[in-house]
Amino acid sequence: MEAFNQILITISDILWGSLNSLFGLSIPALGDLPILAILLLGTGFYLTVLLRFMPIYRIPAAFGMLWKGRKAGAGEEGQITPFAALMTALSSTVGTGNLAGVATAITLGGPGAIFWMWMTALVGMATKYAESLLAVRYREVDENGNFKGGPMYYIKNGLGPKWKWLAVLFSLGALASAAFAGNMVQANGIAEVVNENFGAPNMATGFIIAAMAFAVIIGGIKSIGAFASKLVPFMAFSYIAAAVVVLIMNASGIPDAFRLIFHDAFNGHAAVGGFSGAVIAQAIRFGIARGLFSNEAGQGSAPIAHAAAKTKDPVQQGTIAMLGTFIDTIVICTMTALVILTVSGNFVGVDANGVEHAVNHAWQSNLEGARITSAAFEAGIPGGKWIITFALMVFAFTTILGWSYYGERAISYLIGENAVFPFRIVWCIFTFGGAILSVKAVWTLGDIGNALMAAPNLVAVLLLSGVVASMTRGGEYHRKIQPHDDSAHAKGLHDVDA
């Protein structure tokens, strides 16, 4: 087993290696960032420029489309409303990374990491827009009326048969990410939180989680979309409201928090308390890395959900889809960051010599990950610890639901629609297993799956970027399509003109 774990670690290190580690270089800042992260960031920046910064200045219009998208228009074909599609995508995107990931970014990269997280989200919106537009443009409808789309389908229908191997590679990566990072790790996190706070055995928690998941996913995307449409907005607004209350009670520290973020983004942060010290390179590295993999822009997961939306307008759905990145990072992650940086209290830090001493902020203490966020909330508002406990449980559970659909679409592409129902059963067994088993190797398998998803997807998005630009700049005739008409899809034609 140890040899198997080592093989997995080696594969993961290659896929997630940096220029410095793989080639023995000493490039500052981005040199220590995984090559895949550079590809994700570069793709987002390229698309932002190609689209003439449309994803940024169209944010207000996108919220208007989202509000109208609560109900599908007359004659629109799909399985769920545009609003439900975004909520389904957010159910898998908004997760523990919004709590633990932000705290880790600040601890390792300093407050300036948040600035680079914002920049990453702004260019990531273009990637999310492009991949979701393509998902609707090249989706298919099977004999049962199920709308199927995502990277595997825009690779197949947009790039042609010779790229089928790339679609298969993406689907295999999606299965690995879904089963391990999107399911077992989340179930284990819920079980551990429940055990720590309520003393419930992991086996009992695992059974309950699996049963609840089965009750939702058995109905497919319509059931998941309906559930997500109710729970995700409640989940997000509740967390944001709690953060706002904490910030109001600690309003005097907000200006200093913003000063720290903008100052340290370009000047680094001096060592203080248990914080080892971060320079500009670390702020860039950890801000970009945590931002990219918090909002999943470019990973290819969200467009699978958006492909099921009731719409004939890929541009409109892509515009709604890009709000997922905005809400996840610019809104929710920012709330977490401000609470961590604003709230002061009596915390324990450790200096370079291992000597404990008092510090003012949780991010300067010897705590790690989500415990930093939990400690900051607890110091900011009575019962703050329970807010984070509940948020972690709900975030993780909705992630299990969202990723179940992504895995379902991947297995359908690889084997066929008949494999979907057995997959749902196996999915719930994995959920139970994740709650009771050690997930030491699971994280590594999930990392490998994430890389195998992102790389093929980014290649496809870049190759089809001309279609994205053409449809975006075109009129209504070029934007709207008949999703069941596969005549052009089968030829792999880029049949839209500017």
pLDDT in tens, 230-248: 998 998 899 999 999 999 9
310: confidence class by pLDDT, cuts 50, 70, 90: very high
Phi, psi of 217 (to 5 degrees): -75, -15
Minimum mean pLDDT among 71-85, 96-110, 171-185, 472-486: which range? Answer: 472-486
The predicted pLDDT at position 368 comes to 76
What value does the mean pLDDT take over residues 195-217?
A: 92
Percentage of the chain beyond pLDDT 70 is: 89
Q: Could you tell me the pLDDT band of residue 193, with boundaries at 50, 70 and 90? A: confident
Range 339-360 average pLDDT: 79
Cα 122–chain centre separation: 14
CATH class label, 31-476: mainly alpha
More confident residue, 209 or 5: 209
Residue 487 clears pLDDT 50, i.e. is over it: no
How many Å apart are CA 48 and CA 58, to the nearest integer? 12
Residues 136, 310 contacting (CB under 8 angstroms): no
pLDDT at position 488, please? 41
Contact assessment for residue 171 and residue 408, using Cβ atoms and an 8 Å cutoff: no
pLDDT of residue 336: 94
Residue 25 has pLDDT above 50, yes or no: yes
Mean pLDDT of 361-380: 85
* Highest-scoring range by mean pLDDT, 12-26, 75-89, 341-355, 439-453: 75-89
Q: Confidence class of residue 279 from pLDDT cuts 50, 70 and 90?
A: low
pLDDT given for residue 478 in this prediction: 54
pLDDT at 180 (0 to 100): 87
Residue 276 reports pLDDT greater than 80: no
Domain locations along the chain: 31-476
pLDDT tens by residue, 415-450: 999 999 999 999 999 999 988 887 666 777 777 888
Phi then psi for residue 263, to 5 deg, are: -70, -50
Q: What is the mean pLDDT of residues 33-51?
A: 90
How far the first Cα of the chain sits from its last, in Å, is: 56
Q: What is the mean pLDDT of residues 352-359?
A: 72
486 confidence band (pLDDT: 50, 70, 90): very low
pLDDT at 498 (0 to 100)? 32
pTM: 0.87
Is a pLDDT exceeding 90 seen at residue 82?
yes
Percent of the chain with pLDDT over 90: 50
- In this model, does residue 494 exceed pLDDT 50? no
